[in-house]
Amino acid sequence: MKSKVKFAILFILVIAVLLVVPNISNAATTATDEESLNSAIQSVEDGGTVELQNNITVTKPIVIQKQVTIDGKGFTVSGSTDWTSTSGNQTMFTAQLSAAKLTLKNIDLNNGPKYGVQAYDGGSVILNNVSITGFRYGGVLVNGGYVEVIDLHLGENGTGANNGIEIDKGAAATNNPTLVMNGTLTSDATENVVRVAENGSLTSFIISNTESTTNKIFLAGESLVLTDENNNIVSETTVPSKVTGTTTGTKQVIVTIINGDETNRITVDEGATLTEDMIKSHVIVPEGYEIDGYFTDESFTNSFDFNSKIDVNTTIYVRTAEIKAPVTPEPEEEVKDEVPDTGIEDYTGIAVLAILFALGSMMIISRKK
């Protein structure tokens, strides 16, 4: 009997240990400086999490070759002025090759000689509540890898011109780049928020938008555009002629709405028709004015046909006119009767005739006498 009790207790202890071990193995590993950050990334199990407990300055690139989440807990990783290059790679964080999946969340990346983060040749990067600013080449490099944007803010990145997210493919990469919008993308600059590299080995890339994403990235003709929640174009860049882009969902065209000095650009589904209400929602009409027509030319001679399908990029000119107050006719002035109202009719004319008749009669009688 005692042996059965001992066996039962041992069995319970074994089960308890088995239940606790996974929790221990999945517990977050912490980092307080560059050395402990690199050590934590190397030691954490595949799929594990590294949590920052302090702002950290790094002096060389960090290459990820496993599945790992780095939770910044609101802290910042900054590049040192004493940066050391590693095999030509000077990006702060790199997810390298198909086994690598780096999730960055609740973290700021500041200052570096090249890019803040890159997904290289099959590597995956997920950006969730991440801010990237101050990198010389650009904020994010989709270098033959996969990048998903959930919540990303881009400060000023690049020298001479902004370079937010760059889509490219290195000469040694074998995979084509993919960029997925799954949330919000904001930027301190409006030019080159998302751009396709002109040089290099890139020939094709893929763009995808989830149904719930706030910002979207579209291919519209020869342009790559970033839009807000109302389909207003936030940023637009030209896709090099040698590169072919593929996007999921309906193809888009650009509609440019010009109202005086104000220009607004939106995207609509290719083949769609527009409505007056849709155009009005993107036009600011000054107080005291109203829309007086929609035209296809700046001279306002050809009216826009709202029944026509939009198959190519289209420009609509909006004419406004001052609202004129309705003219109310003044009431006719009533002619005032100056004769006192005595209630007695005016018989002056008859009286005069009677007097003349009497005088005439008297003269005739006088002659007869």
| pLDDT, position 200 | 81
Rounded (5°) CA angle 216-220-224 = 60
pLDDT at residue 14 in the model: 45
Asked if 184 contacts 151 with a C-beta cutoff of 8 angstroms, the reply is: yes
Q: Low-confidence residues of the chain, pLDDT below 50?
A: 5, 14, 17-26, 344, 369
Say if residues 291 and 319 touch (Cβ distance below 8 Å): yes
CA-based torsion, 127, 131, 135, 139: positive or negative: positive
Assess contact for 144 and 126: CB atoms under 8 A.
Answer: no
What are the two backbone dihedrals, phi and then psi, of residue 259, each rounded to the nearest 5 degrees? -130, 95
Comparing CA positions, the residue from 65, 32, 29 lying closest to residue 49 is 29
* One-letter amino acid of 247: T
The residue extents of the domains of the chain are 27-249, 251-326
Phi-psi region at 249: left, alpha or beta (left = phi > 0; alpha = psi -120 to 50): left
> What pLDDT is recorded for position 7?
52
Element containing residue 50 per DSSP (H, E): strand 48-52
- Report pLDDT for 217: 96
Q: Cβ distance 252 to 269 under 8 Å? A: yes
- DSSP string over 76-102: EEEE-TT---BTTB--SEEEESTT-EE
Distances (CA, A) of 75 to 53, 96, 179: 7, 24, 26
- 224 — phi, psi (to 5°)? -110, 120
DSSP lists the bridge partners of residue 117 as: 93, 140
Burial class (CB in 10 A: 0-12, 13-18, 19+), 186: middle
Cα–Cα distances in Å, from 155 out to 38, 106, 116, 146?
26, 16, 11, 21
Contact status, residue 154 vs residue 124, Cβ threshold 8 Å: no
DSSP structure class, residue 338: -
pLDDT per residue as tens digits for the range 329-354: 777 666 655 555 555 455 555 655 65
**H or E stretch at 13:** helix 2-25
pLDDT at 356: 63
Reading the block at residue 183, the tokens are: 């949330």
Residue 134 backbone phi and psi in degrees, to 5: 85, 20
In terms of phi and psi (left: phi > 0; alpha: psi -120 to 50; beta: otherwise), the region of 32 is: alpha
CB distance 307 to 344 below 8 Å = no
Report the candidate in 126, 179, 181, 188 with the shortest Cα–Cα distance to residue 154.
Answer: 188
- DSSP class of residue 350? H
* Distance (Å, whole) CA 131 – CA 157: 11
Beta bridge partners of 254: 267
Note the pLDDT of residue 294. 97
CATH class of 251-326: mainly beta
* Residues paired with 216 in a beta bridge: 227
Distance CA 53, CA 33 (A): 9
Phi/psi for 324 (5° steps) reads -95, 135
> What's the confidence (pLDDT) of residue 27?
58
**pLDDT for residue 36:** 97
Instruction: Please give the pLDDT value at position 367.
Output: 56
Among candidate residues 105, 8, 5, the one with its CA nearest the CA of residue 49: 105
